[in-house]
């Protein structure tokens, strides 16, 4: 059996019958007292994020998770349909499991999907994606009252803050974990 010393980002633990994925962890060795592991965990089913501390050497039940590259096909109105490019098997993912990834997902995009006993746990997006700006107000040269940014709607429907000089049709690079504008992309 594994212990808290084996915790890594992306590990999945079974605690009291619930599956939790480790988002972040830190091994701490204080000057006094025993070592411990401070973690930030996300409940796989509900999406709830909690902080939990384990003493060093605490026995934990790790779950085996199958991680597979899959291609996003379409949204059927409620669920999101993904396909395994090797076996052509299709998987339905609910918006709860997909989380914020749906704001950055385009058809035919490849993502990493983690499953446990055939049930989708979470979707791992690339660190950044390139999306087109579909709507934004024209920027006025010299307008600095808004800190040099304005709202823009991306082709997925997500609204982000972009610099004033960007126009409709511009492709931008966006951080998928924070939703921040990273830069303009030239074709």
Which CATH architecture is the domain 66-124 placed in?
A: Beta Barrel (2.40)
Identify which of 185, 177, 142, 144 has the alpha carbon closest to the alpha carbon of residue 160. Answer: 177
Give pLDDT tens digits for 70-128.
999 999 988 999 999 999 989 899 888 888 888 899 889 899 998 888 888 778 888 89
Interatomic CA distance for residues 185 and 55, integer angstroms = 47
CATH of 2-60, one of 2.30.30.30, 2.120.10.30, 3.40.190.10, 2.40.440.10: 2.30.30.30
- Residue range(s) occupied by CATH 2.40.50.140 in the chain: 66-124, 128-185
pTM above 0.95, yes or no: no
Measured CA angle at 62 (ends 61, 68), to 5 deg: 155
Task: Determine how many CB atoms are found less than 10 A away from the CB of residue 100.
Answer: 15
53 near 67, Cβ under 8 Å? no
Q: Residue 116: what pLDDT?
A: 81
Region(s) of the chain under CATH 2.30.30.30: 2-60
Kindly state which CATH superfamily the domain 128-185 is placed in: Nucleic acid-binding proteins (2.40.50.140)
DSSP-derived letter for residue 167 is -
Model confidence at 143: pLDDT above 60: no
pLDDT digits (tens, 9 = 90+) for 12-56: 898 988 888 888 999 999 888 889 999 999 887 777 889 999 998
């Amino acid at each position: 059996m594994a212990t808290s010393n084996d915790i890594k980002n992306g590990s999945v633990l079974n605690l009291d019958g619930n599956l939790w994925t480790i988002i972040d962890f830190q091994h701490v060795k204080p000057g006094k007292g025993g070592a411990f592991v401070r973690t930030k965990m996300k409940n796989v089913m509900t999406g709830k994020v909690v902080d939990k501390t384990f003493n060093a050497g605490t026995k934990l039940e790790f779950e085996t998770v199958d991680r597979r590259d899959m291609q996003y096909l379409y949204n059927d109105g409620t669920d999101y349909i993904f396909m395994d490019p090797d076996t052509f098997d299709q998987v339905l993912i609910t918006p709860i499991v997909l989380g914020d990834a749906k704001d950055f997902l385009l058809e035919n995009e490849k993502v990493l999907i983690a499953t446990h006993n055939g049930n989708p746990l979470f979707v791992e997006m690339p660190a950044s994606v390139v999306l087109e700006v579909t709507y934004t107000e024209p920027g006025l040269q010299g307008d600095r009252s808004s800190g040099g940014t304005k709202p823009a709607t991306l082709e997925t429907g997500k609204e982000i803050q972009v610099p004033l000089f960007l126009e409709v049709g511009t492709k931008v690079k966006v951080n998928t974990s924070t939703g921040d504008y990273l830069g303009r992309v030239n074709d």
